[in-house]
Amino acid sequence: MIRKYFLLSLLVTASYLNLSWDSSTLSNPANPIKGKNNTYTTDLYKLLNDKDLKFEAFEKAMNGYFKLFIDDNIENSKFLTVIDLSLSANKNRFFIIDLKTTKIIHKSKVAHGRNSGDEFAKYFSNKIGSYQSSLGFYKTAETYKGKHGLSLRLDGLENSNNNARERAIVIHSADYVNDSFIKDNGRLGRSLGCPSLPTDGYSDIIKTIKNGSILFIYYPKKDYLNKSLLANSDINQYFVNESDVSSLTNY
């Protein structure tokens, strides 16, 4: 069991920390110690250095990512996408994190479902025909050419979003996701439940995160957060015990 945790710590360290860091301000992420996972997640957040991404959304996303990682349920582990629907639709709330370089490589606006709210999303559903956004963890799948051009299918990984395929919840571009629409209408346009992106550069986004990366749609909805095993995963268990560190150096 210790070896399993140690191997994970090595993978996480190699994946996340291929960079220099200031030991005077950060704890040492090269030695993730059990019981200090909050510090570890906080350090990663500091390295991203972008306050547009709220810590609460990032923390929940990391909880689920670690769980899916250790369960070998991620094919494209380099990227983590976070959509924070607690923010105004007129703000950047779609973030792609490169977990190898610990950088946010893309951020943009993203639409929510038309029945989820106007400028601010408030209502969420997994029901077919609801035209609302669904919260939770998704895995990106295959691409296809549809009425919106290149599109990316999503598979919901939780009870809150497991109808994504049947609902045709996909990532695609839309001409109502831009600053001109906001200027004319006072808010971003809305989708039928899909996380729709601006047309500029969207194909590169899809090609980057396709085929098995994790995407997390966040909102501080108590009903979801209280039930989600992924968002509430105890990542503490994936970190080695401090008492085991000396013995690990013998492997």
* Number of residues that this document lists for the chain: 251
Average predicted confidence (pLDDT) for the chain? 85
> 138 in helix, strand or coil?
strand
pLDDT, average across residues 237-244: 55
Question: Residues 108-156: pLDDT tens digits?
Answer: 999 999 999 999 999 999 999 999 999 999 999 999 999 999 999 999 9
The secondary structure of residue 235, as a DSSP letter, is G
Q: Which of 65-79, 180-194, 225-239 has the highest mean pLDDT?
A: 180-194
Q: Over 60: is that where the pLDDT of 247 sits?
A: no
Lowest mean pLDDT among 28-37, 113-122, 167-176, 198-207: 28-37
- Binned at pLDDT 50, 70 and 90, residue 103 comes out as very high
Q: Over 50: is that where the pLDDT of 16 sits?
A: no
Please state the separation of Cα 88 from the chain's center in Å: 18
Within a 13 Å sphere around the CA of 176, how many CA atoms are in the beta-carbon half? 18
Task: List, in order of start, the domains of the chain with CATH numbers.
Answer: 2-239 (2.40.440.10)
What pLDDT sits at residue 100?
A: 87
